[in-house]
Amino acid sequence: MTYTPKGDRFLTKEINRNLVLNIIKTRGPISRKDVADVTGLSPATVTGITAILIEDGLVSETGEGRAGALGGRKPILLQLNPQAGFVAGVKIIEEGIVGVLVDLDATVIYKEFRPLARGTSKNLSLDPAITIQTTIETIEEMLSSSSIPQERVLGIGVGINGLVDTENGVCRFAPHFGWHNIPIKEPLVKHFDLPVHLSNDVKSLTLAEQWFGTGQNVDNFVVVAIGRGIGAGIVANGQFYGGTLDGAGEFGHMVLVPGGPRCSCGKKGCLEALAAEPGILRQVRVALAQDEPTILAARPDLSLKDLAQAAEMGDALAQRILTEAGEWLGLGIAHLLNILSPSLIIFTGEGVQAGPLYYDAAREAIAKYTFSEALVEKLSMVVEPLSNVEWARGAACTVLSDYFMSPVYKSSVPAMR
């Protein structure tokens, strides 16, 4: 007889509990017998686990299923109770704090936006203290307005641009905010006494795409977010890949033109400086200063949408700039394809407003610069506009992912009854 240490027995129970909970979550309504068949656990084990899950409010019985081929009693079906817990998700943007409250199904049940005042200049860095305090106020307002008591909140997810130390909850570098080594997690934990997950915003959005979006059931895909910057979230072999300091996917800072235009990161010639919104609009301003003919000269506050509209109207300058920027983007994507070989790329962010000319040029460049035509033939590309609410929902998903994660992958195992 093999002796099983107590700690191992405890871990086994937690693994089995997590397995049953996830099967009910993903396949419910489902009978106990079917849970046992899918998991390979004994009916007695499944019955014991589901009894605890029901008592804890995580699972509920919901009607009867069909009787078996030989008749007999109809099985009682089980399903996840999404209202058993809630998560706050926050996306920090330059304009303010976007917050959502979601249930265990990641359904948004409340949303909130609070602007950030930082003076009249758009170039002023965000004040970290004001940003954190506004984040706290946003979460408190959501809890108050939704009448959800804090004890029913599982945690807080925060998404932010740049390089993030997820383990310590520190923003190491956010170029668009002018931040270096700003602790985000600690003050939120101190105020709310809840688990806080800080992550790169593109990475958290990728997690939401994997759970609920276009990336469902896709083993290898990349989310490319284009706006003020360019970043990517990576799923490889069905697993989200963040890398050290959540830094995987910062391909917007690969230098394509040494000595080229300055990037927000301080280097020159990055993909972001050539193909993201600030770089594109900078090229327009240079052309306007040189009196190049364009209908854009009459528009004082230019946007990517203005540029796309001008291109559709036949404006040669707008068409040239968008085409060139799209080609640079395609070159960067080709490098991603050569390294990762995904089957799906999801384009999102403010850059979706750049229009079809931009993305058509990118697709042509991808085909031109990718190592093999076979990689491109197997690739699907989707342009998917997503609101800031969806990004905040992605931040909430980082908490849900940890909650439903198998104890095998956690550094510590939560107490079980």
Q: Of all residues in the chain, what percent carry a pLDDT higher than 70?
A: 92
Q: Residue range 188-208: average pLDDT? A: 93
pLDDT of residue 71: 57
Worst-scoring range by mean pLDDT, 113-127, 130-144, 161-175, 251-265?
113-127
Q: Residue range 41-59: average pLDDT? A: 91
179-183/170-174 β-pairing: antiparallel
pLDDT of residue 70: 55
pLDDT of residue 156: 97
pLDDT of residue 119: 47
pLDDT of residue 280: 93
Q: Of all residues in the chain, what percent carry a pLDDT higher than 90?
A: 58
| Preceding peptide of 29 cis, ω within 30° | yes
- Indicate the pLDDT class of residue 409, thresholds 50, 70 and 90: low
Tell me the per-residue pLDDT of 290-331, one tens digit each, with 9 for 90 and over. 988 898 887 778 888 899 999 999 999 999 999 999 999 999
Pairwise pLDDT comparison (408 vs 392), residue with the higher score:
392
pLDDT of residue 178: 86
pLDDT of residue 410: 58
- The model's pTM is 0.83
pLDDT of residue 2: 44
Tell me the per-residue pLDDT of 340-350, one tens digit each, with 9 for 90 and over. 999 999 999 88
Pairwise pLDDT comparison (410 vs 258), residue with the higher score:
258
Pairwise pLDDT comparison (405 vs 106), residue with the higher score:
106
pLDDT of residue 72: 62
Tell me the per-residue pLDDT of 219-242, one tens digit each, with 9 for 90 and over. 999 999 998 889 999 999 988 888
pLDDT of residue 123: 45
Average pLDDT, the chain: 88
- Cα–Cα distance measured from residue 94 to residue 175, given in angstroms and rounded to the nearest whole number: 11
Q: Residue range 201-210: average pLDDT? A: 90
- Indicate the pLDDT class of residue 370, thresholds 50, 70 and 90: very high
pLDDT of residue 28: 79
